[in-house]
């Protein structure tokens, strides 16, 4: 099995790029559409940005998404693009309990995003409301996960699917003592 590459350090990279360009948090917020408070949280590694957020930031900063999150080597085989496992970008929660591997192509950011989600025992992925009309589709592959959307909670076991509004605060929790894995699709 190949060695896993460390996930990109998005917060420090964001701060370095912003400062290189002489931008304040307010200026980058205006250029990217990402709130100042969210930018501050991302820079301090206290927030878990979605692929859409990272995409908006990379465009506002004038860098390619792959450069922003770390190089992503893609090999072209005829009509098929192949990305080695060690080059698939990852986003981790601050506590390291949740890992999101970004499966969707960069040009789908903001409309449809695919993630492979691994949540350690008793870990959780908490999200603020996404854009109006956004939905998430969670397919549990291994284990059991609790989904919270607004004031509603549902438990989903292996093989089950939860579809829920993501334009309200929401969370995915592993309330068990076993690791869980799921496919998460975000549609905006």
* % of the chain beyond a pLDDT of 90: 39
Angle, CA of 38, 176 and 143, to the nearest 5°: 90
The CA distance from 15 to 25, in Å, is 9
Query: Is pTM beyond 0.95 here?
Result: no
How many domains are contained in the chain?
A: 2
Q: Are residues 135 and 178 in the same domain?
A: yes
pLDDT tens sequence across 99-113: 888 888 766 667 788
**42-67 mean pLDDT:** 78
The CA distance from 79 to 84, in Å, is 16
Check residue 137 and give its pLDDT. Answer: 97
Whether the predicted pLDDT of 7 surpasses 70:
no
Q: Are residues 84 and 114 in the same domain?
A: no
How far is C-alpha 39 from the chain's CA centre?
A: 15
Q: Are residues 80 and 119 in the same domain?
A: no
Q: Which residues pair with 136 in a beta bridge?
A: 164, 186
Provide the residue range defining the domain that includes 148.
93-187
- Choose one of 73, 88, 103: the last residue of a domain: 88
Q: Are residues 83 and 129 in the same domain?
A: no
Q: Are residues 84 and 97 in the same domain?
A: no
Residues 6+ apart with CB under 8 A from 56: 32, 33, 34, 109, 110
């Amino acid at each position: 099995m190949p060695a896993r590459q460390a996930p990109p350090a998005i917060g420090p990279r964001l701060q370095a790029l912003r400062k290189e360009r002489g931008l304040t948090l307010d200026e980058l917020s205006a250029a990217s559409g990402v709130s100042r408070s969210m930018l501050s949280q991302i820079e301090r590694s206290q927030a878990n940005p979605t692929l859409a957020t990272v995409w908006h930031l990379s465009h506002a900063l004038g860098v390619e998404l792959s450069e922003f999150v770390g190089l992503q080597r893609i090999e072209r085989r005829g009509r098929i693009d192949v990305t080695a496992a060690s080059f698939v970008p990852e986003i981790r929660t601050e506590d390291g309990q949740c890992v999101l591997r970004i499966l969707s192509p960069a040009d789908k950011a903001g409309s449809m995003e695919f993630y492979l989600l691994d949540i350690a025992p008793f870990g959780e992925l908490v999200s603020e409301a996404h854009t109006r009309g956004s939905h998430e589709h969670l397919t549990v592959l291994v284990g059991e996960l609790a989904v919270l959307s607004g004031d509603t909670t549902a438990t989903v076991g292996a093989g089950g699917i939860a579809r829920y509004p993501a334009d309200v605060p929401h969370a995915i929790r592993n309330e068990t003592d076993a690791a869980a894995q799921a496919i998460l699709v975000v549609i905006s």
